[in-house]
């Protein structure tokens, strides 16, 4: 459910207040329909309702403390702050959150109508241009060639994201550091209080980090495609690995880990499925004080490619090599628990995702996502469920529409190409998968 009152900016620059009437009637109707069978869903909906409701119109009717949702938000923020600061509270808080999510997922398997869209992260491909030519990618070549999102469009998205309480905006591409207005986009996100981060190939980061940091950049995730010659061959540009490392070093020298988080996105493919590749990324991550995310090579994203003759894609005969690799990952994670972004259970599931691909039956929580292409197209997830185009309507008109909720439900039921996106959170939220892979992680790392 979106906010009943929200701003719509028109081409003439005016901002109009738009009212979505009778939302409480919809809520009551849903109750009558029996959609609120799960306690966690009721709680989540009530919180979401409070978070996105403008209390101004209720002021004459009720005496809400200082009549402001701001107070509630502040209390919630203080609670979050306390949990983060007191190490002993973090893990029980996470355990409660995860158990609640698992309860909700199992209820939704019986009553799929419980599933609704709740956008947490918006990923925006701000440009389709790229300065590399990776074997596994079509950007900079034949995917939306030349497309680029204007600053105003991205600003509108950020405004709508702020109004909807979205907790993260990811700016990427293509290569986002080629967009002339990236700095203004970050600045706008900061002004609106929407946490934004950038996914980049890192080559221009050293040159731009000073002004991007000044505009609010605090986190970058960086595509890591091997080391030395392997990298240069993969990106099809000679001498780029040296520049890549120099650029990351320049950024790290200028800003320490408490000022700028760096995450290396390790592309896990048939080519990088070996001990040497893992040792290399671990070494670089330690030097840069960076974290590592494992991105399994894709088979269904429209902008990725499996390489000539599918050289990057795993085959059934790779199963034992992939299992050995996952075991190494798990041991590395035991030695350095904070180095990896995902849980042991999620790492233990990598061989199944890599080999079984679309046969995996883990419900998808893509209802928390929105993907925006450089041509303005809006989809629920990175792969599918088209919802509209920003050149025709604003994001605020798309969010929490009937088709948005329907897409979230379809994603949950895997009526889609069944990719491995969001595999970490999907494993965590799905009780049976979580139990299997937690056990496997414990056995593997012995
Ligand atoms: C499409 S790239 C765009 C941002 C930037 N140009 C870069 O290379 O990081 C975004 C992320 O997708 C991941 N990625 C790249 N190629 C991939 C592939 N073939 N399969 C799966 N993930 C891939 C990498 O983790 C990369 O950081
Ligand atoms: S993966 Fe990133 S760096 Fe490589 S071609 Fe695609 S967009 Fe460019
Ligand atoms: S599993 Fe399906 S819904 Fe989920 S991200 Fe992949 S294609 Fe989208």
Mutate to test the pocket of ligand 3, among 120, 362, 367, 418 (most ligand atoms within 8 A of CB): 418
- 200: CA distance to ligand 1 center in Å? 8
Residue nearest to atom 6 of ligand 3 (CA): 419
Q: Bridge partners of 168?
A: 121
Pocket (CB within 6 angstroms of ligand 3): 364, 366, 381-384, 411, 416-419, 421-422
The number of the ligand 3 atom at minimal distance from the alpha carbon of 417 is: 7
Pocket (CB within 6 angstroms of ligand 2): 130, 132-134, 137, 139-140, 173-175, 201, 223
Q: Vertex 125, ends 121 and 130: CA angle to 5°?
A: 145
Alpha helices in 164-224 (DSSP H): 182-192, 205-214
Q: What is the pLDDT along the chain (446 residues), one digit of tens a residue?
A: 333 223 333 233 333 344 444 556 655 655 655 555 566 666 666 666 666 555 555 544 544 444 455 566 567 667 777 777 777 888 888 888 888 889 999 999 999 989 999 999 999 999 999 999 999 999 999 999 999 999 999 999 999 999 999 999 999 999 999 999 999 999 999 999 999 999 999 999 999 999 999 999 999 999 999 999 999 999 999 999 999 999 999 999 999 999 999 999 999 999 999 999 999 999 999 999 999 999 999 998 999 999 999 999 999 999 999 999 999 999 999 999 999 999 999 999 999 999 999 999 999 999 999 999 999 999 999 999 999 999 999 999 999 999 999 999 999 999 999 999 999 999 999 999 999 999 999 998 66
Rounded to an integer, what distance in angstroms lies between the CA atom of residue 420 and that of residue 304? 13
| pLDDT of res. 16 | 34
The number of the ligand 3 atom at minimal distance from the alpha carbon of 416 is: 2
Residues in the chain: 446
| pLDDT of res. 245 | 98
- 253: CA distance to ligand 2 center in Å? 25
Cα pseudo-dihedral 405, 407, 413, 416, rounded to 10:
-170
| pLDDT of res. 222 | 98
For 6, the enclosing helix (H) or strand (E) is: strand 5-9
Residue nearest to atom 12 of ligand 1 (CA): 223
Residue nearest to atom 3 of ligand 3 (CA): 411
φ/ψ of 294, rounded to 5, equals: -95, 120
- 244: CA distance to ligand 2 center in Å? 13
- 409: CA distance to ligand 3 center in Å? 11
Residue nearest to atom 4 of ligand 1 (CA): 200
The answer to whether 341 and 263 are in contact (CB under 8 A) is yes
Q: Bridge partners of 8?
A: 16
Among residues 348, 252, 253, the alpha carbon closest in space to that of 294 is found at: 348
Query: What is each CA distance from 440 to 303, 326, 341, in whole angstroms?
Result: 33, 11, 19
Among residues 253, 406, 427, 429, the alpha carbon closest in space to that of 347 is found at: 427
Tokens of 205: 């980061």
- 254: CA distance to ligand 2 center in Å? 25
| pLDDT of res. 2 | 34
- 294: CA distance to ligand 1 center in Å? 11
- 444: CA distance to ligand 3 center in Å? 28
């Amino acid at each position: 459910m979106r906010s009943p009152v929200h701003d719509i900016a028109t081409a003439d620059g005016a901002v109009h207040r738009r009212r979505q009437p009778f939302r409480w009637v919809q809520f009551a109707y849903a109750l009558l329909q029996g959609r609120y069978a799960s306690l966690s869903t009721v709680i989540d909906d009530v919180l979401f309702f409070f978070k996105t409701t403008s209390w101004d119109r209720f002021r004459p009717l009720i005496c809400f403390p200082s009549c402001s949702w701001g107070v509630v938000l502040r209390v919630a923020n203080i609670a979050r702050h306390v949990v983060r600061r007191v190490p002993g509270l973090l893990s029980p808080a996470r355990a409660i959150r995860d158990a609640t999510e698992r309860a909700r997922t199992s209820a939704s398997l019986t009553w799929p109508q419980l599933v609704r869209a709740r956008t947490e992260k918006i990923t925006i491909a701000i440009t389709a241009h790229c300065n590399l030519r990776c074997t596994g990618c079509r950007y900079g070549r034949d995917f939306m060639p030349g497309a680029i999102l204007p600053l105003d469009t991205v600003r509108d998205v950020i405004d709508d994201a702020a109004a909807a309480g979205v907790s993260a905006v990811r700016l990427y591409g293509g290569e986002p550091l080629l967009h002339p207005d990236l700095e203004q986009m970050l600045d706008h996100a900061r002004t609106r209080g929407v946490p934004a981060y950038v996914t980049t190939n890192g080559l221009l980061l050293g040159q731009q980090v000073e002004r991007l940091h000044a505009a609010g950049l605090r986190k970058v995730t960086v595509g890591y495609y091997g080391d030395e010659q392997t990298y240069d061959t993969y990106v099809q540009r000679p001498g780029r690995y040296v520049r890549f490392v120099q650029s990351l070093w320049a950024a790290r020298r200028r800003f320490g880990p408490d000022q700028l988080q760096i995450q290396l996105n390790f592309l896990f493919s048939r080519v990088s499925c070996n001990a040497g590749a893992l040792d290399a990324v671990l070494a670089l991550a330690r030097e840069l004080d960076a974290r590592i995310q494992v991105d399994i090579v894709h088979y269904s994203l429209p902008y990725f490619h499996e390489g000539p003759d599918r050289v990057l894609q795993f085959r059934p005969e790779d199963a034992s090599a992939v299992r050995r690799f996952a075991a190494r990952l798990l041991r590395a994670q035991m030695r350095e628990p904070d180095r990896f972004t995902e849980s042991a259970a999620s790492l233990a599931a990598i061989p199944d995702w890599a080999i079984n691909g679309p046969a995996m039956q883990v419900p998808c929580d893509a209802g928390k996502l929105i993907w925006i292409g450089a041509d303005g197209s809006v989809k629920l997830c990175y792969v599918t469920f088209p919802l509209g185009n920003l050149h025709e309507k604003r994001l605020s008109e798309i969010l929490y529409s009937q088709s948005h909720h329907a897409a979230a439900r379809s994603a949950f039921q895997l009526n889609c190409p069944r990719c491995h996106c969001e595999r970490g959170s999907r494993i965590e939220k799905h009780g049976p998968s979580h139990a299997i892979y937690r056990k496997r992680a414990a056995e593997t790392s012995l």
